[in-house]
Structure 1
Amino acid sequence: MPAIRTSVKTSRTPYSAPQQKRLTRDSFLVEDLSDSTSCSDFDESYVQRALLLPSGKSSSGRRQPSTSAHPSKSRVASTKCTADPITIKGITFHPTVVFDTFWRWAFERKAIDDRRRSGMDAPWSEDPIFQRYAFCNTFRVLDKLSQYIIREVIEKGSQEPNEVVFRVILFNSFTKIDTWELLDNELGPLTWPRYNRAEYQKVLTRAKRAGTTLYTGAFQKPSPKFEFKDAHINHLCLLEVLMESDLPSRLMNAKYLAEVYEYLLSFPSMGEFSTYQLLLNLMYTNVLNFSNMDFVIAGPGATSGLTKMFGAKKMKAAKHAVPGIEEDLIRWFAENQNAQFERLGLKFSGLGPDRLPMDLADIEHAMCEVDKYSRQAHPQFKGKSIHIRAIFHPSPGIYPPTPVLPKAWKHPDRKILRIWPGPRPTKDPRYVVSRIKAHRDGARGREYKVSWSGYTDADDTWEPEQGLLQDAPGAVNEYLASL
């Protein structure tokens, strides 16, 4: 198996003491803490295929849920913004009309989900944009893909950390339900001890040659540059690398969620967006028990949404003056959501029986969707894209009246806020071991001659056994087995 060698780096030291305190997500519905995806235009697996409703009654005469405003009064788009300026870290932002649209969009998209789950007939909103185009849910956990990951990938099968992490990484490698079910039907049960690259490769290659699309259409998944031509084989290699790095133990022993993100980001082909999506999926498990208010990364869609809310020049200057200001804005949105809904006269229903507010990932997720919504509602605010590709098509079958929420969310550690006080995480690449060619006895013990993926024989190096056993045990074992 390929293996990873960590690059030589000095560990980051936080520049201030850890910020830890007890909290509940409900506290953000009450307190005003103002000083404090990732979605696709076209991927069906990331979009709840909801239709929208035109009046107080469905065609069957059933009333709407009491948590949702009358559809005729819940149009999302407005013509002016009524919000006051926002000041964060000395920078004052003057909201545009898209700022108010964000809150109205979040309210109406959740109301649509509520109405649909109550059993009402379509359509579920009078908003013509919602009627024509498909959007992700206000809460990421309610999206079809998240519901599937929780129900079928995480909470089915062994709950041993190694097994849970293996299943999440395998699913995340392709982020497509059909690919997971193909592997499960052909090779299941899918477990780390039974994993065999050759068998997985055979199944996936046969499906690809038959014209099956193995990957999500939601976002690009560039493969790491291992020694294979096919992306799916290289992604299997990356899966092996992550598992051999003892990832489950690193997750469970991490002190900050930002450290986990930075560690995952260091692996080949892991970009900021793909790393954050993997992190969020792992957050549905019991091996990564952190608060959903600890950490966020603004993806391209959220960045575009913020630009429309506060202006391109303002956001460019703010990002230059305060690195990470986009994440600060996302946190402000999360911590002030109750006041914003109240300002606009919206009774937000929240998530689940506890009526949980949006967390950081939900805000980031929704900003991406509002960016898309604004292409139709507010075309005067320009972005890289001007069209919404995801046309709404209702999915067949019965819409579950109650969504599944991760069992891991009940863990007490989820109520402890642990915000990383250091700088914004950055990528520090790791080097991939292609193979071990020889060994020798050095002054400090056994050493191995390592060939690095992507480099020539002239770049081979002698590495101490102790480091390789920690970072690349599979490569060492394969070499020793070949002697």
Structure 2
Amino acid sequence: MGRNVMRRRHASLSGPSARQSQPRQQPLDITSIGHVLDDQSLAETTALLTDEKQVQHAYELLQSTSLFIYFVIERHRIFVRRHTGKSPPWTKDGVLRNFRFTNDFRVLDRGCQFGLTDVIHKGPSDFRSRVFRVLAFSLFVSQKTYSFLESRFGSPLLEENFDLDKWNEALDDYVADGNKVTTGAYQISAPTVDQVGDPIYHHRLIRLLALLLQSKVSEQIEDCRELCDLHSVLARFPSLTRFLGYQVALNLNMIPGLGLAEDWVIIGPGAQRGLQTIFGNGLPPRLHIVALKWLCENIRPLSVKAGYPEHDIPTLAPGYPALTPVDVEHILCEFHKYAKLVDHARYPCRGSQMPKHRNFPRLDSWPMVTARQPENKLPCHVAREQQNQQYTTPHPDDDGEYWPQHVLEEKGIGSGSHLLRVRWVGYPPNADTWESAQLLTQSSPDVVRAFRQRIDQLEALRLSLISKKAGDPA
């Protein structure tokens, strides 16, 4: 009987009514890019990649490089056409017309534009208040969830009104009404139950926010002078390690007064596959960052070589270099999806995540796109020049010793090789070294003690949060 029921149920799912409920997708028209698919102008262009040991590695670019350059230029053309009020369709490319891809410039994406207009610049302008609002938005990356919280607790959201139990109750109601608290955009994984307690997913996200606030993270962020240091601060907190913490760091970097040079990057899995589509599957992980920065520096000459006019090369404003490493990482992930849709047989990239198919509204109902920029933010190369002025690269003292400034992180705890990553006085992040924890404790006890105090304080706050029950003081 059970098998018969299951068979009938399966048959009903595959019947006419089920087929009719599926969204109808028109065949993708890629005839407009046939010339790009056949373009050999960039194939076998040699990229010289220099590793950390100053050894050069030569890679011949694959034919798909022409498709990458086309994607970069055409995607930004679409944005410009929309921003200047032109009517759709904004491209003849059937893939770009029927699927959603993020913008070339991360700051132009809807989430970042909302973050600038409705989060950073809506409310008190002091640094701490802005950090609170950006963190509250970044944990969900959902405009709808953030707006709901404002409707429940007042607009703008204020740290002094934050109450863990009340926010939990509000989101319980929100979820009970059938809403999702997060989106798929670099969704922040909630800390585990072991890390912060509470079995409910969105409660743990709120507990993460509480932990960030209790640790006075805004003070630590304000002291950061490099994007990688901002990421190191966040990476101490559960679930904000590596790529997800990097995305939150980029959101925070839009706050006026921070604006750190965005030439430091963490490559996500989609961008890694995008690099392999251009450089080949033989590109080792240790050269991923080098290859990405090579692309960033060479998008302009590659575009010119492929026959595109200078005015088509994407830029945010006159005088700004075309794209930063942050933007190129952003693009590579989207390009990987695009290449699969254009010709999966030719570009058999790994990975299954694909862009969403567009459901087009009436032509007169398309929302206008905005292009707000972070206030007082300098072009990446100018910000880098200014940040480099703090590095005096002093000579060692009379004993041949350099002075440790602070410890950033540790690894190998409990093993025979417990190491601490050290920033040296007057030196940039690329001069950081891993030093023996035992030896550094002997030579610079105050530096190690300051690091250990930060870690111990955070651990005490985390354990206190685990033991907290509903109704207990935060």
Question: 1:330 aligned to 2:279?
Answer: no
Letter in 1 for 2:204: N
The 5-angstrom pairing of residues 43-122 of structure 1 reads 77-80=37-40, 82-83=42-43, 84-89=45-50, 90-122=56-88
Q: Which residue of 2 aligns with 1:276?
A: 246
Contact 2:42 2:65 in 1 (8 A): no
Aligned partners of 1:306 and 1:367 also within 8 Å: yes
Letter in 2 for 1:403: A
> 1: CA distance between counterparts of 2:324 and 2:258?
16
The Cα offsets for residues 348-403 of structure 1, whole Å up to 9 and x where unpaired, read as: 14113545411111100000011011002242222233673411234674544751
Question: Could you tell me how far 1:154 is from its partner in structure 2?
Answer: 0.7
Cα offsets for 1:443-481 (capped at 9, x unmatched):
xxxxxxxxxxxxxxxxxxxxx9998668757988999x9
1:159 has 2:121 as partner:
no
Find the residue that maps to 2:48 and give its secondary structure. Answer: strand
Q: Do the aligned partners of residues 363 and 397 (structure 1) sit closer, same or farther apart at CA in structure 2, a change above 3 Å counting? A: same
Contact map agreement 1:208 1:214 (CA 8 A) in 2: yes
Per the normalisation by structure 1, the TM-score is 0.68
Q: Aligned to 2:191, what secondary structure does the other structure show?
A: coil
Q: Equivalent residues in 2 for 1:229-378 (5 A)?
A: 229-293=199-263, 295-312=264-281, 314-315=282-283, 318-319=284-285, 323=286, 325-346=287-308, 347=310, 348-354=313-319, 356-378=321-343
Given the alignment, which residue of 154, 160, 168 partners 1:193?
160
Within 2, Cα distance between the matches of 1:257 and 1:218?
21
Task: Describe the SS at the equivalent of 1:214.
Answer: coil
- 248-257 or 270-279, which deviates more: 248-257
Larger radius of gyration: 2
Does the 8 A contact of 2:232 with 2:409 survive in 1? yes
> Aligned partners of 1:154, 1:96: CA distance in 2, in Å?
42
Match of 1:390 among 325, 336, 356: 356
Q: Which residue type is aligned with residue 165 of structure 1?
A: V
Aligned to 2:143: 177
Is the CA contact (8 Å cut-off) linking 1:147 and 1:404 kept in structure 2? yes
Residue of structure 1 in register with 2:26 after alignment? none
Whether the 8 Å CA contact 2:243–2:268 is kept in 1: the answer is yes
Q: Could you say if the C-alpha distance between residues 398 and 244 of structure 1 is closer, same or farther in structure 2, counting changes exceeding 3 Å?
A: same
State how many pairs are aligned.
Answer: 369
Which residue does the alignment assign to 1:33?
A: none
Higher relative contact order (CA 8 A, sep 6+): 1
C-alpha separation between the residues in 2 aligned to 1:254 and 1:286?
13
Unaligned runs of 5+ in 1: 1-53, 55-70, 431-463
- In structure 2, distance between residues paired with 1:466 and 1:383: 43
Question: Sequence identity of aligned pairs in percent?
Answer: 23
Q: Which has the higher helix share?
A: 2
Residue 134 of structure 2 aligns with which residue? 168
Q: After the TM superposition, which residues 377-416 of structure 1 pair with which residues of structure 2 at under 5 Å, given as runs?
A: 377-379=342-344, 380-385=346-351, 388-394=354-360, 397=365, 399-400=367-368, 402-410=370-378, 414-416=383-385
Task: Measure the CA separation in 2 of the matches of 1:178 and 1:87.
Answer: 46
Query: 2:183 matched to 1:216?
Result: yes
Give the 3-state SS of the residue equivalent to 1:193 in structure 2.
Answer: helix
Contact 1:244-1:473 at 8 Å conserved across structures:
yes
1:168/1:282 contact within 8 Å kept? yes
Equivalent residues of 2:133, 2:158 under 8 A apart:
yes
In structure 2, C-alpha distance between the alignment counterparts of 1:470 and 1:208, rounded to whole Å? 30
Aligned to 2:416: none
Flag structure 2 segments of 5+ consecutive residues without an equivalent. Answer: 1-28, 51-55, 394-407, 414-451
Q: Output the CA distance in 2 between the equivalents of 1:146 and 1:161.
A: 18
Compute the displacement of 1:278 (Å): 0.4
CA pair 192-427 structure 1, distance change in 2 beyond 3 A: farther
CA distance in 1 between partners of 2:169 and 2:233 (Å): 31
TM-score, normalised by the number of residues in structure 2: 0.70
Instruction: Check conservation: 1:135, 1:369, Cα contact below 8 A.
Output: yes
User: Residue 125 of structure 1 corresponds to which residue in structure 2?
Assistant: 91
Q: Closer, same or farther in 2 for the Cα pair 1:472/1:398, shift >3 Å?
A: same
| Alpha-carbon distance in structure 2 between the residues aligned to 1:390 and 1:402 | 21
* Residues 116-165 of structure 1 deviation map (CA, whole Å, 9 limit, x = unaligned): 12221111111121122111111111111111111100111111111111
1:203 pairs with 2:164: no
On the 8 A contact 1:82/1:100 being kept in 2, the answer is yes
Report if the CA contact (8 A) 1:81-1:99 is conserved: no
Question: Matches of 1:466 and 1:407 in 2, distance apart?
Answer: 32
Q: Secondary structure at the match of 2:303?
A: helix
Amino acid corresponding to residue 280 of structure 2 in structure 1: G
Alignment correspondent of 1:139 = 105
Partner amino acid for 2:305?
A: R
Instruction: Name the CA distance, whole Å, in 1 between partners of 2:326 and 2:360.
Output: 26
For 1:202-223, what per-residue CA distance to the aligned partner results, in whole angstroms no more than 9, with x for missing partners?
1101111221111112344321
Q: Is the 8 A contact 2:267 2:329 kept in 1?
A: yes
Question: CA contact under 8 A between 1:166 and 1:192: conserved in structure 2?
Answer: yes
Deviation at 1:426, TM superposition (A): 8.0
1-side partners of 2:86 and 2:336: how far apart? 28
Structure 2 SS opposite 1:357: coil
In structure 1, distance between residues paired with 2:241 and 2:121: 27
Are the counterparts in 2 of residues 171 and 180 from structure 1 also a CA contact under 8 Å? yes
Q: Distance in 2 between matches of 1:207 and 1:429?
A: 42
